[in-house]
Amino acid sequence: MGIDAAHYHPWKTNPGGKLGGPLLGAWRGVAAVVRTTLLQLMRRKAYWAIYAVGISQFVVYWVVIYALTQLQLPSGTQRGMLNTFGFSIEAADPQDTGYLDFMEQQSYVVMIMLAFCGSLVVGSDFREGTLPFYLSRRLERRHYILGKLIALVGLIWLFTVLPALILFLEYGMFTTSTDYWRANWRVVPSILGYGTILGVVLALWLAAISAYLQKLAPIAVVWSSLFVLLGRLGFMLSRETGIREWVLLDPWKDLRLAGRLCFGQFRTAGDAQLSATAAWILICVSLVALLALIRRVRAVEVSA
Amino acid sequence: MSESTELTFENVTKFYGPVIGVNDVSLRVGPGITGLLGSNGAGKSTLMKLASGRLKPSLGEVRVGPHAARSSAAKRLLGYCPDVNAFYEEMTGREFVETMTRLYGYSLAEARRRTQTALERTGMADRAERRLKGCSHGMRQRIKLAQAIAHDPRVLLLDEPLTGIDPGGRREINELLRALAADGLTVLVSSHLLAEVEQLCDRLVVVVNGRILAEGTLGELRNLLNDEPLTIRLESPQARLAAALVVALPDTTHVTVRNDSVILRTRNAPAFFAELGRLVAAHQLEVRRLETLDSGAEAVFGYLQRSAT
Amino acid sequence: MEPLVDIRDVSFAYGAVRALTNVSLRLEPGTVGIVGNNGAGKSTLLRILLGLLHPTSGGGTVLGCDVRQSSSQLRGLVGYMPEAHAVVPLLKGVEFVALSGDLYGMPKRDARRRAHEVLNYVGLGELRYRRLDEYSTGNLQRLKLAAALVHDPKLLLLDEPTNGLDPAGRTAMLRTIEDLIAATGKSVILCTHLLADIERICKQVVVMHQGTVARAGTLDALRQHTASRYALRWQGPREPFVAALQAAQVSLDFPPEHAAVPSTEQHALAVVPTGWHTAQFFELAGRSEAVVVELRPEQEDLEQLFFRVTHGN
Amino acid sequence: MRTARAFLTLWLLSFRRLFWSIGTPMLLLPIVACIMFLVRRNYGASDDPVQAFHAFSMFLLTVFASFLVPLCALAFGTAGLGGDREDRTLLFLFIRPLPRGLILLAKYFAALPLVLGFTVGSLWIFCKLAGAPGRAAFDAYLPATLYMSVAYTSLFHLFAALVRHSTVAALIYAVFMEVLLGNVPGIVKRVAVNYYGRSLMYDAGVEHGLNAPDAQWFDPYPPADARTALWAIAIGALVAAWLVFRTREYEEPT
């Protein structure tokens, strides 16, 4: 046996360890794409720098919640501080917007990070001929797209949903009874809902843009135009013309309104009216992005 | 035909940080085709980059004719066909060669004329209107060659020009290089495909671990190996007789007979072959096949490599 | 025995560009080399055999799987080593090979275990924990071979496996492939411009030309056999020996001459008259102060075969 | 003579490649968005000319100066030299008889007209569309636009000469230095090119009716000093890039 070590060994399958059938095999492929994509990102130092920026905000919220539940401050001060961060002092007040505010603020960091990772995660597959490698295994187009999207959504959740849920747990733990969790259980599906909207929409848009533009500079130009320029223009238009609908030009605003739809909380009544339109805008643009992405992947399969 | 220009390395050493790429190399490359042989990482590419003036030697001097390799005067005398497969992809082959030629400062008409000539010589004249992005590997290699010869250089450097070329293309490029060498050009071809270098080159330079191990014609290199034992196979219906004859020769060792063939080793190949000729003629031995099992550039290279380490 | 490949009248066009025209091919299990100039349709054929592209017309089977329908099942039986760089940046060697296994549908742990095994086999044992960015060309080629072997396929499709390798790397790669064939009886389809590789490894050859199969069959059957031709190499002066041979009715053919340096060695192709005794070569050489150092009955090699088929000479 | 012709060829080559690069259509997207905004908003129809000038100036300050100008420089500034580095085509230039300093200058002067063309051109279009307030605004803000464009272009060329992934570096710089630090109150914002440009714009705009900014939030630099600072950035960065590019070896060991 020792002499034999250098020779080729056929694959001796463990019980149940064969190549999966079409369904199982494809699922394993998708999981591998997801794992690999996340791994690639985490090997980049720039990613950790951005994650550190993102998580610093989480630390602030953590400290605030800790301080407010533990310290005996004069009640006026405490109430004021809590309100600044969107939490209320009464354990069971359903008007908490702290989690929502937190996720909204996190999404700025998410946007910057996505601008950087689009060319690595999707663009380079197209630019350097890695896509044919994926597709020459037992992966179909749809599995590749699905895998990349899941990875991107997971990445976005690492910045938003996960820390928000941790904050929710923290709040409940420090109030020493389970009342907080019981009274506010609706927060959890709301966080998940907002996270899903944020994840799916951003992932689809980024994947489509990166598949066509591939390199960092053009991706950054388009991405920042979408999320910075349109926001500023929409804001000025709505303020100067007095027509509120103009704010919907801003994808951030749309995402935020859709998020508030999940939480059922709006700053103003106007926001509540706009939120359904905002959701429809997101759905339509995302569908266009998905179709564009599929088209692009198909083109590579035939030509490369 | 203008006068010949030599490429000279004088005690050249090149470091990349702590890594040594080329270690105290002195070399003169004159007209004709010289092959630069070495395995990956032996320093071939570094020598090419030094000769083309893209790198500055850490120690020593590289000259093209009388000029330092990094001077503009040297670059006018030099044509370079790089190994990287990179282009301005959106251009057509003709545009690319023409632009590259104009960077020597030719007028538009002159650059056009030279481009046309270069494309004709590389067999691309009728296919040069295609965008480089859509060109096959072989076509791209020829375009690279065309941009290297369009300004009539006196020294031509080719870094792995035959990698990935199909058999038809290989034949044509070899013919072109021979024609250029016949015009008195100094041509330096780096390669690790030994069989081709053997066919193409007048002289060989073998690089190992950043140093020059040997240089000369293939024959000269082979003569260097005369001290090395050589394995020879002789096929004959009278194999036993043949074996008995060669065993008697002074430098023969390890004679084995299997069916119709005799395999033997000799320590002195020239003497062996001369004696063998006489014996065969004298005994009217029928020889179906006589060959050296470990000759050819590949074997020479292998020997040199082994003796270096 | 089930044929390895059995396709009939397969055509493929990229838009208006026809890449393959009515290709019919039947190959037995074993080793097959595909040769052809660029644009002859080799890579299109490979992609059709792999089920990546569906033929515009025609069809057939590979390893008994229909190339039009069961492409997922087919790719589970075939290991493909692409020509392109095609690695995932920032991964380590073993992760890349395990990823390949995952993508073939292997269970995750099996893929990981198997990745170590095949990496050892192709000789990358010590490099497996390094990042792919640090791999040399030769090691990348071995890595891609490992990635194609990971799920123990019945058939290996190798596209230019020795491209860019130095002699040592090339020999090692060819040895690995030979060993693999000998030890496991896997079938291999090898696609390369280096005809010597095919001659060394493959029993069957497919010569492609302008989108069609110009010849297909075993190499021995395709070779043109010519008796009474010898390749001759000698040391010593050229003229007297040549004259002596010509006087003895031997017609000589010289390979293209090198430009400058006169060599001490000469070689020629000799066509001998009937009743020739090979000892005469040595006799004539001895008289003209030449020493014969090589004498080989000339056999058509793959390169000559290729040019005869594609250029008609 | 031959060198001059070669230089012109390289300049033309670089200019053409940049002009037809993907950056051009991508930049048209935000510009078209701004044009649509201005058409919809139509400052010229406003009753109060001073108020209209102020509103239009705010558009130029928040959208044009602090977003569009850096974006234009980003799209063309690193792409010329950095693109050649990333695509490994730089070697084709290094083997021609052109001094390295001239290669850098050719790249720089190829990018500069494009950046200026896009910034000045879009400023001109915006001012035309704005009507009455635009006429005064163009003359008032043109110098600041020119200064900023040149300074950014030089800076991004320095990035391209220094680091391999110059686009990443430029983007990080643009996001963190220009957007984040450029907009925080206090003295920190002096690291941003943008700050000096906007100081000049405030100085030029106030006499036409732009409200002076809240000094707590944005304390403008004196115009003469701001001009000096922008000149210093432009020339300093270019000289640094020139020095780096001349001596550096853009090769990796194989």
The secondary structure of A33-52 as a DSSP string is HHHHHHHHHHT-HHHHHHHH
CB B176 within 8 A of CB B9: no
Give the distance from residue A2's alpha carbon to the nearest chain C alpha carbon, in angstroms. 14
Q: According to CATH, what is the number of the domain C224-310? A: 3.30.70.260
Q: What is d(CA C206, CA C221) in angstroms, rounded to the nearest whole number?
A: 12
Work out whether strand B78-81 and strand C65-66 pair parallel, antiparallel, or are unpaired.
Answer: unpaired
What one-letter code names the amino acid at C7? I
Say yes or no: domain B230-307 is CATH 3.10.620.30: no
Q: Which of B201, B194, B144, B140 is nearest to B166 (CA)?
A: B140
**Closest residue to C86, CB basis, from A40, A132, A139:** A132
B286 and C36 in contact by Cβ < 8 A? Answer: no
- H-state helical runs in B150-268: 167-182, 194-200, 218-224, 239-247
pLDDT at D243: 92
* D neighbours by CB contacts (3+ pairs under 8 Å): A, B
Whether B52 and chain D come into contact, CB under 8 Å, resolves to yes
Chain A 94-123, CB below 8 Å of chain C: which residues? 120
Name the token pair of A49: 């720098």
Chain B 209-238, CB below 8 Å of chain C: which residues? 217-219
CB B111 within 8 A of CB B101: yes
What one-letter code names the amino acid at B307? S
C72 and A31 in contact by Cβ < 8 A? Answer: no
Cα C201 to Cα B166, B248, C223, D136: the distances in Å are 19, 38, 16, 80
Helix axes D193-206, D223-247, angle to 10 degrees: 150
Q: Which of B153, B152, B151 is nearest to B51 (CA)?
A: B153
Buried/exposed B166-186: b ≥16 CB within 10 Å, e otherwise: bbbbbbebbebbbebbeebbb
- Which residue of chain B has the CA closest to C231? B289
Model confidence at A170: pLDDT above 70: yes
Alpha carbons within 13 A on the beta-carbon side of A267: 11
Task: Give C59's DSSP letter.
Answer: E
Whether D81 and chain A come into contact, CB under 8 Å, resolves to no
- Which residue of chain C has the CA closest to B199? C258
pLDDT at A72: 63
Q: Which of C26, C33, C32 is nearest to C10 (CA)?
A: C26
| Cβ neighbour number for residue C135 with a 10 Å cutoff | 18
- Which range, of A71-75, B96-100, C125-129, averages the lowest pLDDT? A71-75
* Confidence class for position A205, pLDDT limits 50, 70, 90: very high
Give the distance from residue C303's alpha carbon to the nearest chain A alpha carbon, in angstroms. 29
pLDDT at A82: 64
* A neighbours by CB contacts (3+ pairs under 8 Å): C, D
Residues 6+ apart with CB under 8 A from C247: none
**Domain residues of chain B, as ranges?**
7-216, 230-307
**Closest residue to B281, CB basis, from C36, C282, C307:** C282
C89 and A32 in contact by Cβ < 8 A? Answer: no
What one-letter code names the amino acid at B38? G
Whether D28 and chain A come into contact, CB under 8 Å, resolves to no
Per-residue pLDDT tens digits for C45-93: 888 888 888 888 888 888 888 888 877 788 888 899 888 777 888 888 8
Name the token pair of D160: 């391209």
- Which residue of chain B has the CA closest to C303? B167
Whether B72 and chain D come into contact, CB under 8 Å, resolves to yes
Mean residue pLDDT across chain C: 82
Report which of residues A238 and A83 the model is more confident about: A238
Give the distance from residue B55's alpha carbon to the nearest chain D alpha carbon, in angstroms. 6
D171 and A217 in contact by Cβ < 8 A? Answer: yes
Model confidence at D217: pLDDT above 80: no
Q: Which of C276, C269, C311 is nearest to C294 (CA)?
A: C269
Q: What is d(CA D252, CA D244) in angstroms, rounded to the nearest whole number?
A: 17
pTM (two decimals): 0.81
Q: What is d(CA A98, CA C289) in angstroms, rounded to the nearest whole number?
A: 102
Model confidence at A4: pLDDT above 80: no
Cα C291 to Cα A259, B269, C265, C266, C288: the distances in Å are 92, 11, 10, 10, 9
Q: Which of D176, D201, D202, D200 is nearest to D189 (CA)?
A: D176
Model confidence at D157: pLDDT above 80: yes
B103 and D91 in contact by Cβ < 8 A? Answer: no
Q: Which of B211, B175, B148, B159 is nearest to B49 (CA)?
A: B159
Q: According to CATH, what is the number of the domain B7-216? A: 3.40.50.300
* Confidence class for position D168, pLDDT limits 50, 70, 90: confident
* Confidence class for position A24, pLDDT limits 50, 70, 90: confident
pLDDT at A3: 47
Q: Which of C42, C173, C295 to mutate to test the interface with B (most CBs of B within 10 A)?
A: C295
Q: What is d(CA C198, CA C184) in angstroms, rounded to the nearest whole number?
A: 19
Per-residue pLDDT tens digits for C147-198: 998 888 889 999 888 887 777 778 888 888 888 888 888 899 998 888 888 8
The topology (CATH level 3) of C5-220 is Rossmann fold (3.40.50)
pLDDT at A35: 92
Per-residue pLDDT tens digits for D114-130: 999 999 999 999 998 88
| Cβ neighbour number for residue D214 with a 10 Å cutoff | 9
* Confidence class for position B114, pLDDT limits 50, 70, 90: very high
Q: What is d(CA D151, CA D230) in angstroms, rounded to the nearest whole number?
A: 6
* Confidence class for position D43, pLDDT limits 50, 70, 90: confident
Name the token pair of B114: 């030279």
Per-residue pLDDT tens digits for D177-201: 777 777 777 777 787 888 888 888 8
Q: Which residue has the tokens 């003469």?
A: D224
What's the average model confidence in pLDDT over A75-88? Answer: 64
* Confidence class for position B307, pLDDT limits 50, 70, 90: low
**Quick check: helix, strand or coil at residue B183?**
coil
Q: What is d(CA D151, CA D146) in angstroms, rounded to the nearest whole number?
A: 9
A221 and D168 in contact by Cβ < 8 A? Answer: no
Q: What is d(CA A32, CA A133) in angstroms, rounded to the nearest whole number?
A: 13
Chain A 6-35, CB below 8 Å of chain C: which residues? 6-11, 13-14, 16-17, 19-20, 22, 24-26, 28-29, 31-33, 35
**Domain residues of chain D, as ranges?**
2-41+51-247
**Quick check: helix, strand or coil at residue C190?**
strand
Q: What is d(CA C40, CA B136) in angstroms, rounded to the nearest whole number?
A: 11
Give the distance from residue B167's alpha carbon to the nearest chain D alpha carbon, in angstroms. 27
Q: What is d(CA D83, CA D87) in angstroms, rounded to the nearest whole number?
A: 6
Whether A127 and chain D come into contact, CB under 8 Å, resolves to no
Give the distance from residue D106's alpha carbon to the nearest chain B alpha carbon, in angstroms. 12
**Domain residues of chain C, as ranges?**
5-220, 224-310
- Which residue of chain A has the CA closest to C105? A25
Q: What is d(CA B6, CA B8) in angstroms, rounded to the nearest whole number?
A: 6
A216 and D167 in contact by Cβ < 8 A? Answer: yes
* Confidence class for position A36, pLDDT limits 50, 70, 90: very high
C82 and A133 in contact by Cβ < 8 A? Answer: yes
Q: What is d(CA B77, CA C40) in angstroms, rounded to the nearest whole number?
A: 38
Task: Give A285's DSSP letter.
Answer: H
* Confidence class for position C227, pLDDT limits 50, 70, 90: low
| Cβ neighbour number for residue C229 with a 10 Å cutoff | 18
